[in-house]
Amino acid sequence: MPEALLKALGKRWYLPTVVVALFLIVILPHLLSMNLARDTLDAAKAVSHTYQVEAAVKTLAMDVRDVEAALLQQALQRDADNPLLNKRISEGSRNIKPGLATITRLTVDNPNQQRRLGQLQEVVERRLALFRSLSTAPAGQQAELFEQIKGVQIAGLLDQVLADEHALLAERTRIAATSQKRATYLSWTSMLLQLVVLGTLAFLLSRQVERRLNAERDMQAASGRALAVLQTVREPIALLDAEQTILLSNTAFDEFYGRENDNRALSELPGASWDDPVVLQKLTDVLARGRELWDFEVRQQTQDEVSRVVLINSRRMHLPDSEEPVALLTVSDVTAQKVHEQRVADLNEQLQTKVQQVTEVNRELEAFSYSVSHDLRAPLRHVAGFADKLSRHLGEAADEKSLHYLGIIGSSAKRMSRLIDDLLVYSRLGKTALRHQAVDMHSLVEETRGMLSSGEGNADVEWQIPALPVVPGDENMLRQVWSNLLGNAVKYSSKRAHPKVTVGYEQQADGSHHFSVSDNGTGFDMNYASKLFGVFQRLHKADEFPGSGVGLATVRRVLTRHNGQIWAEAVPDQGATFHFTLPANAQH
Task: Convert the pLDDT of each residue in 429-452 to its tens digit.
Answer: 555 666 778 889 899 899 888 888
- Span 259-266, mean pLDDT? 76
Residue 514 is predicted with a pLDDT of 93
Predicted local confidence at residue 505, as pLDDT: 92
Instruction: Characterize the bridge pairing of strands 246-249 and 293-301.
Output: unpaired
User: In this predicted model, what pLDDT tens digit does every residue of 550-571 receive, in sequence order?
Assistant: 677 778 888 888 888 888 888 8
Residue 588 CA: distances (Å) to CA of 5, 478, 584: 60, 15, 13
CA distance 457 to 445: 19
- Residue 372 — pLDDT band, cuts 50, 70, 90? low
In this predicted structure, what is the pLDDT of residue 256? 79
pLDDT score recorded for residue 9 = 43
Q: Average pLDDT, stretch 48-67?
A: 75
Q: Concatenated DSSP letters for 95-107?
A: HHHHHHHHHHHHT
Helix (H) or strand (E) holding 456: none
Contact 93, 128 (CB under 8 A): yes
Residue 310 is predicted with a pLDDT of 85
Taking residues 405-409, report their average pLDDT.
Answer: 72
Q: What is the pLDDT of residue 282?
A: 84
- Maximum C-alpha span of the chain: 224
Work out the pLDDT band at 75, boundaries 50, 70, 90: low
Domain ranges of the chain: 4-196, 234-333, 359-429, 432-582
Report the candidate in 452, 488, 494, 448 with the shortest Cα–Cα distance to residue 468.
Answer: 448
Q: Distance of alpha carbon 153 from its chain centroid, rounded?
A: 101
Residue 472, classed as helix, strand or coil, is strand
What 3-state DSSP class applies to 296?
strand
Q: Which CATH number fits domain 432-582: 3.90.1300.10, 3.10.20.30, 3.30.1450.10, 3.30.565.10?
A: 3.30.565.10
Q: What is the mean pLDDT of residues 420-426?
A: 63
Q: How many CA atoms lie within 13 A of 352 on its CB side?
A: 6
Please state the rounded mean pLDDT for residues 336-353. Answer: 87
User: CA–CA separation, 580 vs 565, rounded Å?
Assistant: 5
* Mean of pLDDT values over 333-356: 86
Percent helix, strand, coil in the chain, to 5, is: 65, 15, 25
Query: In the beta sheet, which residues pair with residue 513?
Result: 507, 582
Among candidates 493, 518, 520, which has minimal Cα distance to 504? 518
In 268-377, DSSP assigns E strands to: 293-301, 307-317, 326-333
Average pLDDT over residues 9-32: 63
- The whole-angstrom distance between residue 101's C-alpha and the CA centroid of its chain comes to 89
Mean pLDDT, range 234-241, rounded to an integer: 84
**What's the rounded mean pLDDT across residues 52-74?**
73
Higher pLDDT, 542 or 215: 215
Q: Determine what percent of the chain is predicted with pLDDT higher than 70.
A: 69
CA distances from 477 to 310, 405, 420 (A): 54, 39, 19
Look over the chain and give the mean of its residue pLDDT values, rounded to a whole number. 75
Tell me how far apart the alpha carbons of residues 530 and 528 are, in angstroms, rounded to a whole number.
5
| Tens digits of residue pLDDT in 193-224 | 777 777 887 887 888 888 888 888 888 887 77
Nearest one of 25, 45, 49, 37 to 179, comparing CA atoms: 37
Distance of CA 549 to the CA centre of its chain: 66
**Whole-angstrom distance, CA of residue 128 vs CA of residue 65:** 10
Model pTM score = 0.39
What is the residue type of 242?
A: A
Q: What residue type is 375 in one-letter code?
A: D
Residue 432: phi, psi to the nearest 5? -75, 135
Query: What is the model's pLDDT at position 380?
Result: 65
| More confident of the two residues 149 and 14 | 149
CA distances from residue 298 to 285, 308, 315 in whole angstroms, order as listed: 17, 8, 17
The kind and range of the H/E element at 487 are: helix 475-492
How much is the average pLDDT of 122-146?
67
Over residues 387-400, the pLDDT tens digits come to 777 777 777 767 77
Q: Look up residue 549 and give its amino acid.
A: G
pLDDT of residue 504: 92
pLDDT given at position 271 = 67
CB 373 within 8 A of CB 420: yes
Region 9-22 average pLDDT: 61
Q: What is the pLDDT of residue 5?
A: 43
Q: 264-284, pLDDT tens digit by residue?
A: 787 777 766 777 888 888 888
**Which phi and psi (to 5°) does residue 63 adopt?**
-60, -45
The radius of gyration computed from the CA coordinates of the chain, to the nearest angstrom, equals 67
DSSP classification of residue 266: G
Q: Give the separation between CA 452 and CA 484, rounded to whole angstroms.
A: 11
**DSSP state at residue 235:** S
Q: Do the Cβ atoms of 257 and 236 come closer than 8 Å?
A: yes
CA 5: distance to chain centroid? 16
Phi/psi at 268 (nearest 5 deg)? -95, 5
Please compute, for residue 543, the number of CA atoms within 13 A of its CA located in the half-sphere on the CB side: 1
Distance between CA 196 and CA 463 in Å, rounded? 99
The count of C-alpha atoms lying within 13 angstroms of the C-alpha of 403, restricted to the half-sphere facing its C-beta, is 8
Q: For residues 363, 366, 369 and 370, what is the CA-based torsion angle, rounded to 10 degrees?
A: -110
Q: Answer yes or no: is pLDDT of 544 > 80.
A: no
Q: Cα separation of 58 and 181, whole Å?
A: 34
Q: Given its phi and psi angles, is residue 575 left (phi above 0), alpha (psi -120 to 50 degrees) or beta?
A: left
Topology at the third CATH level for domain 234-333: Beta-Lactamase (3.30.450)
Please give the average per-residue pLDDT across 411-425, as a whole number: 65
- pLDDT score at 402: 73
